[in-house]
Amino acid sequence: MPDYQRIAAEFGLGRLQAVTPLAGGRADVVRLTTAAGEFVAKPAESEAQAVLYERAARVLSEAGVRQARPWRTTAGSLIGESGHGVQEFLPGRIFLPPTPAQTAGVMRHTGACHAVLAHVPVPPALAAQDTLFTRVASPGYLIETLPGLLHRTGLPGGAGHTVARALGLVEAFLPRMRQLPAQVVHGDIGPDNVLMDGDEVVAVIDFTPFAEPVLFAVATALYWYHVHGQATLDGRAVRASFAAAGPRRGWARAEAAVWPVMLLREALRRLATPLALAGEPGIPVPAAVITRYQAVRSILRSWPYLEPAKALSAAPGSVTI
């Protein structure tokens, strides 16, 4: 167990009074109550990611979008010698499952948050990062590698055909996806990463940065709020959430044309992640793979209700979904 008194001392937080696990969070992310107040401590990914989060949190806060303020050590670093980072503790609750009103609030917040993040320069290291998690987010990786990963599973016999159809759609829209501008986005917006106060969003936590189009973040939220674990999708609700997450000007035609494929890409990413992790020595394929495969199948079954054909027949420029 980490020495939390040492961590409190590193960040100048005063005497440690209590260490409390966060409800619904990871075991290694805890709430520290100290003489200086309440904070969240967790293992840090890297100095570069900590610096990016500090910059993003500052820009968001200046725009009125709440984010947990990161603390620096007494020596001025964002990561202590313990390997931990510290942020302010924000009050709020995680709701599982969220209500429709809470979902709508998250989608509006996602749009507002990423409109601000568009002003944060993409660090070269973020654009160039190459990890298992960035690879599974790549359409090229999915097209080339996912069919082979499926052989490790006990999925139904038709799974290969279903995934091949989904990958075919992604490949067909690949040129359009590559034309979308990349920015800093949060790549894991789901109910377990959103603090709520009733129907209002307090903040999105566990900042997971990617250099991707804004639709990447929106697709992540749509996946976790509308697709994962749902045998049948409510196409109208999905489209309403997509509209709620849009900019004030409306979605550009290029974005409206490709968003269902971005959602499909997100489902394929979520399917590929545990399969790719299972490729590491000693890691078995988790049973949750079947749920993630069903998400891909559910999107394909609902495809006629997701395609924005009517929106694309609107006037040039931006469209309202």
Q: In this predicted structure, what is the pLDDT of residue 317?
A: 45
Distances, alpha carbon 224 to alpha carbons 56, 96, 188, in Å: 23, 11, 9
**Whether the Cβ atoms of residue 114 and residue 185 lie closer than 8 Å to each other:** yes
Q: What is the mean pLDDT of residues 47-67?
A: 96
pTM reported for the whole predicted model = 0.93
Q: In this predicted structure, what is the pLDDT of residue 26?
A: 77
Q: In this predicted structure, what is the pLDDT of residue 321?
A: 41
Position with higher pLDDT, 224 vs 249: 224
What is the rounded CA–CA span in Å between residue 54 and residue 212? 19
Residue 70, H or E segment: strand 70-71
pLDDT at 318 over 80: no
pLDDT at 320 over 50: no
Total Cβ atoms within 10 A of residue 4: 18
**Whether the Cβ atoms of residue 285 and residue 274 lie closer than 8 Å to each other:** yes
pLDDT at 280 over 90: no
**Whether the Cβ atoms of residue 172 and residue 137 lie closer than 8 Å to each other:** no
pLDDT at 230 over 90: yes
Q: What is the mean pLDDT of residues 11-35?
A: 91
Helix, strand, or coil here: 196? Answer: strand
Q: In this predicted structure, what is the pLDDT of residue 293?
A: 96
For 13, residues 6+ apart whose C-beta sits below 8 A from its C-beta are 32, 34, 35, 36, 37, 39, 71, 86
pLDDT at 313 over 70: no
Position with higher pLDDT, 26 vs 71: 71
The overall longest dimension of the chain from CA atoms, in Å, is 63
Which tens digits make up the pLDDT trace of 163-222?
A: 999 999 999 999 999 999 999 999 999 999 999 999 999 999 999 999 999 999 999 999
What does the block give as tokens for 45? Answer: 């990914």
Strand ranges, E, within 84-144 = 84-88
User: What residues pair up with 185 in beta bridges, in sequence order?
Assistant: 210
Q: What is the mean pLDDT of residues 6-29?
A: 91
pLDDT at 151 over 70: yes
Question: What strands, in cross-sheet order, belong to the sheet with 16-21?
Answer: 16-21, 30-34, 37-43, 84-88, 70-71
Q: In this predicted structure, what is the pLDDT of residue 310?
A: 44
Q: In this predicted structure, what is the pLDDT of residue 154?
A: 79
Q: In this predicted structure, what is the pLDDT of residue 308?
A: 57
What is the rounded CA–CA span in Å between residue 39 and residue 35? 11
Which tens digits make up the pLDDT trace of 291-309?
A: 999 999 999 999 988 875 4
Q: What is the mean pLDDT of residues 62-70?
A: 96
**Whether the Cβ atoms of residue 165 and residue 53 lie closer than 8 Å to each other:** no
Provide φ and ψ at 166, rounded to 5°: -65, -45
The 8-class DSSP code of residue 93 comes to B
**Whether the Cβ atoms of residue 242 and residue 141 lie closer than 8 Å to each other:** no
Share of the chain above pLDDT 70, in %: 95
Q: In this predicted structure, what is the pLDDT of residue 56?
A: 98
Q: In this predicted structure, what is the pLDDT of residue 312?
A: 40
